Homo-oligomer: A and B are copies of this chain.
Amino acid sequence: MENITDVNWESILQQEDYSWGGLEETFSGYYDSSSPDGGQSSSPASKNIVSERNRRKKLNDRLFALRAVVPNISKMDKASIIKDAIEYIQLLHDQERTIQAELMELESQKLEPENFDFNQETKSSMSMEKSKKIRVEQAFDSSGSSSYPIEVQDLHVSYMGEKTVLVNLTCNKRRDTIVKLCEVFESLKLKIVTANIYAFSERLSNTLFIQADEEDTDVLKIQLETAISTLNDPHSPMSM
């Protein structure tokens, strides 16, 4: 065939001034679906060809973008680009782990002068450790636990660094809401570092710092929503 679009991959990759146009959804030179050649518009098979061409171009663009954010690519190979990207991500993971360990050590040094600590109780008074112990007694009472479901009005999760996540949650104010929330966090293996709760008319504003391995706030938010909804209705496997 050797039509106009038959560009060589390596030729493109090797020229430096390839008009890139950003990494996000920039359609620089996508094909038009109308009139590929002649006036034969909207042919049944030609439509598919154009779509496939666009799909391939998008994939190549993405691959090229991936190559752009990864330093020291060994070869311009498609497979090598992905391979280098994988290795680079793993390298970043290791680096992050190392640097976080350093940071933690530095901070612990700073926060613990080792000699004296005026007001030990400031930290422990805010922690929710005690209420969690209370919860153990009335652990799994699934028969009557769904009488007052938690209605989440607002849920916001943001990562603060050092495996600490800030959770802002506004929900209805019922008898066991706070206890249930503690259950939710405990079921997700999330340690509550500190919590602040405001009761306002019919609503409850919860501001919590939790310790979590998961850094992805979106995942955490979904996990929280799922846990709350499953707590509300234990029979349904998942509500969202």
Which of A's residues lie within 8 Å of B, judged by CB? Answer: 23, 55, 58-59, 62-63, 65-66, 69-72, 78-79, 82-83, 85-86, 88-90, 92-93, 95-96, 98-100, 102-103, 105-107, 109-110, 113, 115, 118, 122-123, 126-128, 153-154, 156, 158, 160-162, 164, 166, 168, 170, 194, 196, 198, 200-203, 205, 207, 209, 215-216, 218-219
Contacts and interface: CB of A to CB of B under 8 A. Distances in A.
Contacts of A79: 55, 58-59, 62
B23 A86 contact: yes
A105 B201 CA distance: 13
Contact of A92 (B58, B83, B89, B100): B89
Contacts of A86: 23, 62, 65-66, 69
Nearest to A162: B201
Contacts of A154: 156, 158, 166
Contact of A164 (B55, B88, B107, B200): B200
| Shortest Cβ-Cβ A-B pairs, 5 listed | A62-B82, A168-B168, A92-B92, A72-B216, A106-B106
A207 B209 contact: no
